[in-house]
Amino acid sequence: MVLGSAVTAVLAARRSKVPQVARRAGWAQQPRLPRIRTDPEESETNFGRNILLSTGFLLSSGANKVLLRILLVSVHKYAFMLGVLTNLLYITVFGLQFRYELKTAGEQDDESQADSLKFALNGRGLRLLAGAGACEAAAFVGLPLCASHLAGSLLPVMSQGLLIFSMIFSWMILGKRYDPLQVLGVLVVATGVGICTWPNLIADFGSGAKAFAGIRWAGGLFLSYGCISFSLVLKELAFVRFKQWRRENGHKKGDLNLEMVNFATALWQGWALMLLWPVNFALLTKLDTATYFRAAFKHFHQAGVWLVAYLGVNLVYTEVTTIVLKQLSAVIFLLVNVLNVPLVSLFFCLKLPLLGAAPFRWSFVAGLVVIIGGLLTYNHKTLTAWRGSNDN
């Protein structure tokens, strides 16, 4: 959905690593798991294509955030409904992709897909994907709700929470270990987020109770990215458990079907959103049910152009990201993501429709520089490997 900020291309045989490598680049825009088939070495041989793909990714990423922020001017009181609409779009698209995958699958894939369905509908697999869907449902509500109260320039900054939370959850749940430079990189990113956020909150909300309100919205947005991080870690754990499950049942090696994971997670996300409707009426709105839906329909109808544009760009961004993941090398995609943070943040300082220009502050630029330094430090292994391959 943002719904906020991103990865490297790997071989199809290593598709279960996608969530892990996505976090290396600090990518946090979509909870979707892309399907990757291209050898990363191929991506470094076509400079023109790399420039085109990188530009397309930057434009779609920026447009996704900008259109969301503009849309929220009109429908911020109905953020829950926006999450439901986006989820319905995801269910439709992911369902069609899964159906296409079933039709085009070979005989060997049929067995893997059948096992994927059994795993997803029973026991641990069901619990993991249902948990992932529930986390994404919380993010679908929390992200637009909190973002509507903050300056647009903070959206790509706060999305760095994905990297921070992912490291914590991966260590706690997956037992992953990080070297001192990676830990330092995450701490530097967290410092940069603080440098960018605090002066903006003080300037926008003032002091006292108003400042507390700003901290609450910023904290809610940050925690929403934590929900996406937890969802990604649960999906990654599902891939690991699926391989174990196949071995225990004497089956050949195979990966959990990605299209099925995306579709199943979207369905569970939808169920969770349905169960959260009472929370919406208890905490997020004072309107009764009938009045809420009438008002929501009116506001979404009035914002029709922006709504269609946002949902369309959201899908385009998802597909562009998937293509970029397939085609670009780890280093190129890392650098594109590093550029994405300051460019999109500073773009909000321009005069935009319905938004105007976010205040420009040099402290914000300083915080962005710190974030970039932290991202590069965290990804030091990728950069070192790339430099070594060029030396050879």
Is 3 inside any structural domain? Answer: no
Please state, in angstroms and rounded to a whole number, the distance separating the CA atoms of residues 35 and 18.
8
Is 169 inside any structural domain? Answer: yes
Q: Number of structural domains, the chain? A: 1
The series of mean pLDDT values per 10 residues for the chain, 392 residues long, is 34 36 36 41 58 81 85 87 90 88 69 80 89 91 85 79 85 87 88 82 72 84 89 88 82 76 90 89 85 92 91 83 66 65 78 74 83 84 70 59
Is 4 inside any structural domain? Answer: no
pLDDT at 314: 85
pLDDT at 151: 79
Residues of the domain holding 370: 12-391
Is 63 inside any structural domain? Answer: yes
Degrees, nearest 5: CA angle 16-19-20: 90
pLDDT at 13: 31
pLDDT at 335: 64
Q: Name the residue among 93, 85, 31, 61 with its Cα closest to residue 307.
A: 85
pLDDT at 365: 83
Question: Alpha helix locations (H) across 249-361?
Answer: 258-275, 277-279, 289-302, 304-327, 330-347
Is 1 inside any structural domain? Answer: no
Radius of gyration from C-alpha coordinates of the chain: 21
Instruction: Give the torsion through C-alpha atoms of 268, 273, 275, 279, to 10 deg.
Output: 150
pLDDT at 236: 86
For 35-40, the CB contacts below 8 A with 24+ separation are 35/258, 35/259, 35/322, 35/326, 36/9, 36/10, 36/11, 36/12, 36/325, 36/326, 37/11, 37/12, 37/326, 38/9, 38/326, 38/327, 39/9, 39/11, 40/8, 40/9, 40/10, 40/328, 40/329, 40/330
Is 315 inside any structural domain? Answer: yes
Distance of CA 230 to the CA centre of its chain: 11
In the structure encoding, which two tokens stand for residue 32, read together? 């979707």
Is 2 inside any structural domain? Answer: no
Please count the residues of the chain: 392
Contact status, residue 68 vs residue 74, Cβ threshold 8 Å: no
Q: Which amino acid is at 158?
A: M
Is 136 inside any structural domain? Answer: yes
